[in-house]
Amino acid sequence: MNPVKRNFGGHRARQIGIGVVAAAAAVVMSGATAGVANANVGDSLPAECLQFSRDAGVNWDDQGPKFNSIRPVPGYEELWAEFENRNNCDIPAKLVYFSQDWKVGKGATATLRVNLDGVEGQQVVIGPDNPDTYIVLNESGTLATDEAVAVEWLIGIPWEETQQGGSINPGMGIDLIQSAPLAPSDLVIDPEAPAAGDVIMVRGTAEPGVSVSVRVDGDEKCVAATDQAGAFSCEIGALAPGAHQVSAVATDSGVESEPAEPIDVTVGPGVSGSPGSLGSAGSVGSSIGFGSLIDLGSSS
């Protein structure tokens, strides 16, 4: 990955003699310089795909987060920045929050944490060695276009830290990485116990706005689009009697997901031979033999 550094106008806190003060350096946005259409899974999307909101999703721009002036003390974390991110490009991607090129003054240590949508990320310790280390702090799942993630960046100091009067440059960064759409799930068939000749419908869920290819024994049988709720239905027609596996693959912007967990389907023989059995209903006609009950009457 070749980061494209962007300064979002980070706040630099003044240094205080007590404790360690967080000095907010430029936030790094990793991004590809190539066009979005040329990106592949695992590539960084252009920086313009990443948007920020500092007012709970009312307004969006590329100006980065607003930093709080903080003075963390040993054993505690403080909220350095709180904002929302979203992927503004029409390509599935995930957000990766990382620290790189960090610096902690006076040989001290600090802690970093990124929480996403209220779920705590892992706290990591930085400083003072290995300033070039790339540390992933947290990452989102695959985001649909304009799907938002609430972000909290926290900086703290380990409880055992005794050094005072230093500064922390957390080297925080964000990378928007193209990812494959999530695999379809919750596959069901209708009818549940199909017989030969039955037209079968497959239903399931995937990400909203993707195309879903339904496959039987590895062969594509139909393609459907998901609705705004992510639901889809697709008619695969009739299957030959016997055992089959039904799966599905989602596609978004030409990128395929992993296959859905397959479901096993057994198609029964159906009614194709049953007309003969209906003919055997002629055996019901043989109930005319009951007419021989007259013979019972003749026993008089």
| Cα–Cα distance, 272 to 70 (Å, whole number) | 77
Q: 150 vs 23, which has greater pLDDT?
A: 150
Residue-wise pLDDT for 212-267, tens only, equals 999 999 999 999 999 989 999 999 999 999 999 999 999 987 888 989 999 999 99
Q: What is the mean pLDDT of residues 276-285?
A: 39
- Is the CATH number 2.10.109.10 carried by domain 185-271? no
- Distance from C-alpha of 291 to C-alpha of 218, rounded to nearest angstrom: 58
What six digits make up the tokens of 104? 């902690």
| Fold match flag (4-178 vs 185-271) | yes
- Tell me the fold of 4-178: Immunoglobulin-like (2.60.40)
Beta carbons within 10 angstroms of residue 82's beta carbon: 17
| pLDDT confidence bin for 39, thresholds 50/70/90 | low
Give the least confident one: 20-24, 108-112, 182-186: 20-24
pTM check: above 0.85: no
What's the confidence (pLDDT) of residue 278? Answer: 38
Which residue ranges make up each domain of the chain? 4-178, 185-271
* 143-161: average pLDDT: 92
Plot region of 278 (φ>0 → left; ψ -120 to 50 → alpha; else → beta): alpha
* d(C-alpha 45, C-alpha 93), whole Å: 8
Per-residue pLDDT at 91 exceeds 70:
yes
CA–CA separation, 235 and 220 (whole Å): 11
Residue 68 pLDDT exceeds 80: yes
